[in-house]
Amino acid sequence: MKTIKGPGLFLAQFVGTSAPFDNFDAITGWAAGLGYLGVQVPSGEASLMDLDLAAGSRGYCDDLLGRARQNGVEITELSAHVQGQLVAVHPAFDEAFDGFAPAALRGNPKARQVWGVEQVMKTIDASANLGLDRMAAFSGALAWPYFYPWPQRPAGLVEAAFDELAARWRPILDHAEEKGVDICFEIHPGEDLHDGVTFEMFLDRVDQHPRARMLYDPSHYVLQQLDYLDHIDIYAERIGMFHVKDAEFNPTGRQGVYGGYQPWIDRAGRFRSPGDGQVDFKSIFSKLTQYDFDGWAVVEWECALKHPEDGAREGAGFVRDHIIRVTDRVFDDFADAGTDEAANRRMLGLEG
C-alpha cells in the first residue's frame, strides 16, 4: 500500500490581480504558509507560468520547480481543464466558451479548437519537462445538449458524437504516451465524460488507451446521485488524480438534481468546502489507500457560502487529518505461530 501525498491545493480558484495571488512565488509561498505541501497549477494562467517556455525548455521548468521548492511546495500536476474543454464544443455553447480562448480567436470555432488542442499538447510537454507523469483536463462535449432524451434522440446521434470525440483525443493521447504522461479527465457534468458509463464509451473508442485516466472528484457524483464509493471499486486502476471537494444534495418538493435554473446558493445540490458537505471522505481515503492510489489529495475549493481563503486554510488541515499513513506490518503479527507447510497439513487433519 501507498500513503497518499498531500495536502495539495488547486490554484485556479485563487489566482487574481492582487497580492499574494498575482504571481507564482507569492501564491506558492501563501499556500505553503497554510500548510500545503503541493500546488496544482493551471497551465493557461500566464501569471503563474509561461506555457510556451515550459513546453520547450527543461531549464525553465527546472527553475520553476526550484522556485516552488524554495517557497515550500512541490508542483503536483498541471491542469488543462479550460483548454481541454475547447477540444470539443457543441455550437450551442460557442459564444459561452469563446471566453476561454484568446480574443483573436473568438467567433472562429475551428481556430479555437486548433488552439485548444495545441494548448493541451503543450501541457503534456510541459508536464514531461517538469518530471510529472499525469495532468488534468476536461474532455469537452458534443453530445451534452442531448443528455435528456426528449425529444427522442435520433438513432446513432450519441454514437456519432463519441466517435468524433475519440477521434479528436486519440492523437493527443498518443502524444501523451510518447511523453509518458497520463491525461486524467475530470468526470464532470457539462462534459461528455460525466460518469462511469460515458467514460467507458470513450475508452472503447480509443482502444482502452493506457493514458486515458480519471480525475476523481466526489462532489460531482453527489450532485448526480451516483455512488462515489462504488465508483472507486470499479475504476480504481483508472483513477490518476483526486480533487478533495465537498458537496451536498438536499432535494425539496420544488427541485431536485436539475436545480431549477437557480443560482448555486439556492440549488438542491451545491458545492461546499471540505468537511461542510455530505461526502464521506473517511471512506474515500480508505478506499484509495486500499487500492494503492499513488497521487496527491488536492483541495479544489468551491463553495456557495464560505470565503475562499477560509476554505483554503481549513482544507489543508482537513486533508492532512484524512491521509492514512499506511502500516508496514499486519496488526495481528504478534500472534503469528510461525507454522510451516507440515504444520498446516497437521492442522487440517491431513497427516497421521
Residue 209 falls inside a structural domain: yes
> What is the pLDDT at residue 212?
98
Residue 22 falls inside a structural domain: yes
Give the number of domains in the chain: 1
Cα separation, 199 vs 31, whole angstroms: 33
* pTM listed for this prediction: 0.95
> What is the pLDDT at residue 331?
64
Per-residue pLDDT of 147-195, as tens digits, reads 999 999 999 999 999 999 999 999 999 999 999 999 999 999 999 999 9
| Percent of residues, the chain, with pLDDT higher than 90 | 93
The DSSP 8-state label assigned to residue 191 in this structure reads S
Residue 129 falls inside a structural domain: yes
Element (H, E) at 276: none
Per-residue pLDDT of 13-59, as tens digits, reads 999 999 999 999 999 999 999 999 999 999 999 999 999 999 999 99
Residue 330 in this model has a pLDDT that exceeds 80: no
Residue 312 falls inside a structural domain: yes
CA distances from 315 to 137, 219, 244, 274, 318 (A): 23, 15, 9, 6, 5
List the beta bridge partners of residue 10: 40
Residue 192 falls inside a structural domain: yes
Residue 352 falls inside a structural domain: no
Cα separation, 126 vs 153, whole angstroms: 41
* Domain, as residue range, for 247: 5-347
User: Residues of 147-156 as b/e, b for ≥16 C-beta within 10 angstroms?
Assistant: eeeeeeeeee
Residue 66 falls inside a structural domain: yes
CA distances from 157 to 35, 196, 197 (A): 48, 19, 16
Residue 56 falls inside a structural domain: yes
Residue 251 belongs to domain with CATH number:
3.20.20.150
Per-residue pLDDT of 271-310, as tens digits, reads 999 999 999 999 999 999 999 999 999 999 999 999 999 9
- State how far Cα 78 lies from the chain centre: 10
Residue 332 in this model has a pLDDT that exceeds 70: no
